[in-house]
A and B are shown apart, each in its own frame.
Chain A
Protein backbone atom coordinates (compact mmCIF):
# COMPACT_ATOMS: atom_id res chain seq x y z
CA UNK A 1 0.00 0.00 0.00
CA UNK A 2 2.99 2.22 -0.27
CA UNK A 3 2.68 3.41 -3.84
CA UNK A 4 -0.15 5.12 -5.70
CA UNK A 5 -0.67 2.19 -8.04
CA UNK A 6 -0.91 -0.29 -5.19
CA UNK A 7 -3.55 1.79 -3.44
CA UNK A 8 -5.49 2.28 -6.65
CA UNK A 9 -5.38 -1.44 -7.30
CA UNK A 10 -6.62 -2.22 -3.80
CA UNK A 11 -9.50 0.26 -4.05
CA UNK A 12 -10.56 -0.96 -7.48
CA UNK A 13 -10.46 -4.60 -6.40
CA UNK A 14 -12.48 -3.86 -3.30
CA UNK A 15 -15.03 -1.84 -5.32
CA UNK A 16 -15.49 -4.75 -7.71
CA UNK A 17 -15.98 -7.12 -4.78
CA UNK A 18 -18.66 -4.84 -3.35
CA UNK A 19 -20.28 -4.58 -6.79
CA UNK A 20 -20.42 -8.37 -7.03
CA UNK A 21 -22.02 -8.51 -3.60
CA UNK A 22 -24.61 -5.88 -4.53
CA UNK A 23 -25.39 -7.67 -7.79
CA UNK A 24 -26.03 -10.85 -5.85
CA UNK A 25 -28.34 -9.00 -3.45
CA UNK A 26 -30.21 -7.56 -6.45
CA UNK A 27 -30.56 -11.07 -7.84
CA UNK A 28 -31.75 -12.38 -4.48
CA UNK A 29 -34.35 -9.62 -4.23
CA UNK A 30 -35.92 -10.73 -7.52
CA UNK A 31 -35.99 -14.34 -6.30
CA UNK A 32 -37.92 -13.32 -3.22
CA UNK A 33 -40.51 -11.37 -5.21
CA UNK A 34 -43.73 -13.35 -5.39
CA UNK A 35 -45.25 -12.77 -8.80
CA UNK A 36 -48.68 -14.19 -9.37
CA UNK A 37 -47.79 -17.15 -11.51
CA UNK A 38 -50.23 -19.27 -13.37
CA UNK A 39 -49.11 -22.71 -14.39
CA UNK A 40 -50.84 -23.84 -17.52
CA UNK A 41 -49.95 -27.50 -17.53
CA UNK A 42 -51.94 -30.23 -19.08
CA UNK A 43 -50.68 -33.72 -18.49
CA UNK A 44 -52.87 -35.36 -21.13
CA UNK A 45 -52.68 -33.07 -24.10
CA UNK A 46 -49.58 -31.48 -25.50
CA UNK A 47 -49.81 -27.72 -25.24
CA UNK A 48 -47.80 -25.78 -27.77
CA UNK A 49 -47.11 -22.11 -27.23
CA UNK A 50 -46.76 -19.90 -30.28
CA UNK A 51 -45.92 -16.22 -30.07
CA UNK A 52 -48.22 -14.19 -32.33
CA UNK A 53 -47.35 -10.70 -31.22
CA UNK A 54 -44.87 -9.01 -28.98
CA UNK A 55 -43.77 -5.58 -27.91
CA UNK A 56 -40.80 -4.34 -25.93
CA UNK A 57 -41.55 -1.63 -23.41
CA UNK A 58 -38.52 0.05 -21.91
CA UNK A 59 -38.53 1.58 -18.46
CA UNK A 60 -40.36 4.88 -18.43
CA UNK A 61 -42.25 4.25 -21.64
CA UNK A 62 -46.03 4.21 -21.75
CA UNK A 63 -47.14 0.79 -20.55
CA UNK A 64 -50.84 1.38 -21.17
CA UNK A 65 -51.46 -0.48 -24.41
CA UNK A 66 -54.63 0.24 -26.33
CA UNK A 67 -54.75 -1.48 -29.70
CA UNK A 68 -57.65 -2.19 -32.00
CA UNK A 69 -57.94 -4.00 -35.32
CA UNK A 70 -54.36 -5.16 -35.30
CA UNK A 71 -52.89 -7.88 -37.40
CA UNK A 72 -50.74 -10.48 -35.75
CA UNK A 73 -47.06 -9.67 -35.87
CA UNK A 74 -46.05 -13.28 -36.44
CA UNK A 75 -48.41 -15.46 -38.43
CA UNK A 76 -49.98 -18.80 -37.67
CA UNK A 77 -47.57 -20.83 -39.73
CA UNK A 78 -48.87 -24.30 -40.32
CA UNK A 79 -45.73 -26.40 -40.19
CA UNK A 80 -47.43 -29.54 -41.40
CA UNK A 81 -50.13 -30.22 -38.86
CA UNK A 82 -51.64 -28.94 -35.69
CA UNK A 83 -53.44 -25.82 -36.86
CA UNK A 84 -56.01 -26.96 -39.42
CA UNK A 85 -59.13 -28.19 -37.66
CA UNK A 86 -57.72 -27.52 -34.22
CA UNK A 87 -60.69 -26.92 -31.96
CA UNK A 88 -58.89 -25.33 -29.05
CA UNK A 89 -56.86 -22.32 -30.01
CA UNK A 90 -56.49 -20.19 -26.90
CA UNK A 91 -55.13 -16.66 -27.03
CA UNK A 92 -53.49 -15.41 -23.88
CA UNK A 93 -51.36 -12.46 -22.94
CA UNK A 94 -48.21 -12.90 -20.93
CA UNK A 95 -45.18 -10.82 -20.26
CA UNK A 96 -41.65 -11.02 -18.95
CA UNK A 97 -39.87 -8.57 -16.73
CA UNK A 98 -36.16 -8.46 -17.51
CA UNK A 99 -34.13 -7.43 -14.45
CA UNK A 100 -30.52 -6.27 -14.45
CA UNK A 101 -29.75 -9.26 -12.29
CA UNK A 102 -32.20 -11.92 -11.25
CA UNK A 103 -34.85 -14.30 -12.44
CA UNK A 104 -36.95 -13.81 -15.56
CA UNK A 105 -40.57 -14.10 -14.45
CA UNK A 106 -43.25 -15.10 -16.94
CA UNK A 107 -46.56 -13.62 -15.86
CA UNK A 108 -49.92 -14.51 -17.40
CA UNK A 109 -52.69 -11.95 -17.54
CA UNK A 110 -56.23 -12.69 -16.48
CA UNK A 111 -58.57 -13.92 -19.17
CA UNK A 112 -58.18 -15.65 -22.49
CA UNK A 113 -60.02 -16.15 -25.75
CA UNK A 114 -60.61 -19.54 -27.33
CA UNK A 115 -61.76 -20.35 -30.85
CA UNK A 116 -61.55 -23.05 -33.47
CA UNK A 117 -59.75 -23.19 -36.74
CA UNK A 118 -61.79 -24.37 -39.72
CA UNK A 119 -61.18 -27.79 -41.16
CA UNK A 120 -60.43 -26.48 -44.63
CA UNK A 121 -58.15 -23.74 -45.83
CA UNK A 122 -59.85 -20.61 -47.09
CA UNK A 123 -58.84 -19.25 -50.44
CA UNK A 124 -59.76 -15.65 -49.82
CA UNK A 125 -59.35 -13.40 -46.88
CA UNK A 126 -62.32 -13.59 -44.56
Chain B
Protein backbone atom coordinates (compact mmCIF):
# COMPACT_ATOMS: atom_id res chain seq x y z
CA UNK B 1 0.00 0.00 0.00
CA UNK B 2 3.00 2.32 0.10
CA UNK B 3 2.58 3.33 -3.53
CA UNK B 4 -0.55 5.29 -2.56
CA UNK B 5 1.55 7.69 -0.53
CA UNK B 6 3.99 8.12 -3.38
CA UNK B 7 1.31 9.55 -5.72
CA UNK B 8 2.02 13.28 -5.88
CA UNK B 9 -1.07 15.28 -4.89
CA UNK B 10 0.27 18.80 -4.79
CA UNK B 11 0.36 21.70 -7.23
CA UNK B 12 3.34 24.02 -7.28
CA UNK B 13 2.93 27.76 -6.84
CA UNK B 14 2.75 28.61 -10.54
CA UNK B 15 0.48 25.64 -11.14
CA UNK B 16 -2.07 26.95 -8.67
CA UNK B 17 -2.15 30.29 -10.45
CA UNK B 18 -2.58 28.56 -13.81
CA UNK B 19 -5.36 26.36 -12.44
CA UNK B 20 -7.30 29.30 -11.08
CA UNK B 21 -6.87 31.36 -14.23
CA UNK B 22 -7.89 28.43 -16.43
CA UNK B 23 -11.00 27.69 -14.35
CA UNK B 24 -12.12 31.33 -14.51
CA UNK B 25 -11.58 31.51 -18.25
CA UNK B 26 -13.55 28.28 -18.83
CA UNK B 27 -16.49 29.25 -16.61
CA UNK B 28 -16.68 32.80 -17.99
CA UNK B 29 -16.51 31.55 -21.57
CA UNK B 30 -19.22 28.93 -21.05
CA UNK B 31 -21.37 31.47 -19.25
CA UNK B 32 -21.08 33.97 -22.08
CA UNK B 33 -21.72 31.41 -24.81
CA UNK B 34 -24.63 30.03 -22.79
CA UNK B 35 -26.10 33.50 -22.42
CA UNK B 36 -25.91 34.16 -26.16
CA UNK B 37 -27.41 30.78 -27.01
CA UNK B 38 -30.09 31.07 -24.37
CA UNK B 39 -31.01 34.52 -25.66
CA UNK B 40 -31.22 33.25 -29.23
CA UNK B 41 -33.63 30.43 -28.37
CA UNK B 42 -35.18 32.41 -25.49
CA UNK B 43 -34.65 29.71 -22.88
CA UNK B 44 -32.71 30.70 -19.79
CA UNK B 45 -32.57 27.08 -18.65
CA UNK B 46 -30.22 26.31 -21.54
CA UNK B 47 -27.92 29.08 -20.29
CA UNK B 48 -27.85 27.48 -16.86
CA UNK B 49 -27.14 24.04 -18.33
CA UNK B 50 -24.26 25.35 -20.44
CA UNK B 51 -22.82 27.14 -17.42
CA UNK B 52 -23.13 23.85 -15.51
CA UNK B 53 -21.21 22.08 -18.29
CA UNK B 54 -18.51 24.73 -17.97
CA UNK B 55 -18.37 24.13 -14.23
CA UNK B 56 -17.95 20.37 -14.74
CA UNK B 57 -15.23 20.90 -17.35
CA UNK B 58 -13.41 23.40 -15.14
CA UNK B 59 -13.70 21.02 -12.20
CA UNK B 60 -12.24 18.14 -14.21
CA UNK B 61 -9.39 20.26 -15.57
CA UNK B 62 -8.38 22.23 -12.51
CA UNK B 63 -9.45 20.43 -9.35
CA UNK B 64 -7.35 17.25 -9.63
CA UNK B 65 -3.62 18.01 -9.27
CA UNK B 66 -2.67 17.07 -12.81
CA UNK B 67 1.06 16.82 -13.62
CA UNK B 68 0.54 19.90 -15.82
CA UNK B 69 0.42 22.02 -12.67
CA UNK B 70 3.63 20.58 -11.25
CA UNK B 71 6.15 21.75 -13.84
CA UNK B 72 7.91 24.48 -11.85
CA UNK B 73 8.61 23.12 -8.40
CA UNK B 74 10.14 25.40 -5.81
CA UNK B 75 13.63 24.26 -4.92
CA UNK B 76 13.86 24.40 -1.18
CA UNK B 77 17.15 24.56 0.59
CA UNK B 78 18.29 21.36 2.22
CA UNK B 79 17.34 21.16 5.86
CA UNK B 80 20.19 22.18 8.10
CA UNK B 81 18.44 20.60 11.07
CA UNK B 82 19.61 18.67 14.06
CA UNK B 83 21.00 15.74 12.15
CA UNK B 84 24.15 17.68 11.29
CA UNK B 85 24.87 18.85 14.84
CA UNK B 86 24.13 15.45 16.29
CA UNK B 87 26.43 13.77 13.84
CA UNK B 88 29.19 16.30 14.57
CA UNK B 89 28.73 15.69 18.29
CA UNK B 90 29.04 11.98 17.73
CA UNK B 91 32.18 12.42 15.73
CA UNK B 92 33.63 14.60 18.49
CA UNK B 93 32.87 11.91 21.04
CA UNK B 94 34.41 9.31 18.81
CA UNK B 95 37.55 11.37 18.38
CA UNK B 96 37.73 11.76 22.15
CA UNK B 97 37.46 8.05 22.66
CA UNK B 98 40.12 7.43 20.11
CA UNK B 99 42.43 9.77 21.92
Whether a CB of chain B sits under 8 angstroms from the CB of A85 is: no
Number of B residues, CB within 8 Å of A: 30
Segment among A19-27, A71-79, A110-118 that sits at the interface with chain B = A19-27
Within 8 Å CB of A11, what residues of B? 23, 27, 55, 58-59, 62-63
| CB interface residues, B 23-77, toward A, < 8 Å | 23-24, 27-28, 31, 34-35, 38-39, 43-45, 47-48, 51, 54-55, 58-59, 62-65
Whether a CB of chain A sits under 8 angstroms from the CB of B10 is: yes
Within 8 Å CB of B63, what residues of A? 4, 7-8, 11
B59 touches A8 (CB 8 A): yes
B93 to chain A, nearest CB (A): 43
B19 touches A19 (CB 8 A): no
Whether a CB of chain A sits under 8 angstroms from the CB of B20 is: yes
B19 touches A7 (CB 8 A): yes
Residue ranges of B at the interface with A (Cβ–Cβ < 8 Å): 9-11, 16-17, 19-20, 23-24, 27-28, 31, 34-35, 38-39, 43-45, 47-48, 51, 54-55, 58-59, 62-65
Residue ranges of A at the interface with B (Cβ–Cβ < 8 Å): 1-2, 4, 7-8, 10-12, 14-15, 18-19, 21-23, 25-26, 29, 59, 99-101
Closest 6 CB pairs of A and B: A100-B44, A1-B16, A18-B31, A15-B55, A26-B44, A7-B63
Of the residues B9, B10, B24, B35, contact of A25 by C-beta under 8 Å: B35
A11-B59, A22-B34 given as contacts; is B64 within 8 A of A29 (CB)?
no
B27 touches A15 (CB 8 A): yes
Within 8 Å CB of B9, what residues of A? 4
CA distance A101 to B65 in the complex (A): 38
Closest to A59 in B: B43
